[in-house]
Amino acid sequence: MEYAHPESLVDPAWLTAHLEDPNLRVLDLRFDLRPGRDGQLEPTPGREEYETGHIPGAIFVDLDQDLAHPDAPLEILSPERFEALMGRLGVGNDTTVVLHDGSGGTWAARLWWALRYYGHDDVRLLDGGYARWVREGHPTDSHPVRPDPTRFEARVRPELRVTRDEVLAAIDRDDVCIVDALPEPFYRGEAKLYPGHRAGHIPGARNLPAPANLDPGSSTLLPADALERLWKDAGVPRNQRVITYCGGGVFAAFSLFVLHLLGVENAALYDASWSEWGADPSLPIETGPPA
């Protein structure tokens, strides 16, 4: 079995062969969540790592600052702000975009989804990310990259994004499958993702943690047949609409990327995810394993 969209996943050899392409933009979205002094996980952008070493020509994008709407942090940037960001990064409507991070794409996929949501299809993930690039001996650079600004026109695809009310309406529907992309302890309600939020999951949601789609040793995507079995075993049917969510629309975007690779296109992101759902006591939750 092969990926339905193999063009969406590139390896370091492909990227090396295309680095000099003037129509290519490589965007570095290295990011992490690390324990703070109070024990809670704190967002840690990878700018310092980027400045130490990055793929030649790559431009750093701060997942937390650049892609979060300043007035509505639970939502993706408005079309106007997204257009401005892409223009600053040198990404036009005809640009080939390659994204990577340090975690196999689980963070970078947020921008993969955002670009597709705003009508840009020529966007790919670097399989294995920066770690694989270095591991295979490809060159790195530490010089800052300042791309020439350009113009990007957003073309919204509303079918790729859902709101809280749409998720609420989907809970009891037989033709929609909701997928929680968080690690199992958060899904079961054994741990809290955010201190002030409730613990658990959206009723009826299946659990398939985003990192489970990766080979744990190399952080590369599992083969297509292994991914197909993984999603089938999680109880996600191919003939239903799929809604993915996580803590803030990042891991869930990676789940959408995997579904895209498998040819499942009737899928959308609950953008605000548990950041919104877990904070609202009027919304139903469940704990424990799937029923």
Residues marked as catalytic: 246
CB 246 within 8 A of CB 110: no
Distance CA(84)–CA(252), nearest Å, equals 25
Residues 39/156, Cβ–Cβ less than 8 Å: no
Measured at the alpha carbon of residue 246, what is the angle toward residues 202 and 193, in degrees to the nearest 5?
A: 90
The rounded distance, in Å, linking the Cα atoms of 30 and 103 is 8
Rounded Cα–Cα distance for residues 190 and 75 (Å):
27
Q: How many whole angstroms separate alpha carbon 236 and alpha carbon 218?
A: 26
Which residues are paired to 268 by β-bridges?
243
Q: Which two tokens stand for residue 106?
A: 């689980």
Which residues, other chains included, contact 216 with Cβ-Cβ below 8 Å and sequence gap of 6+?
Answer: none
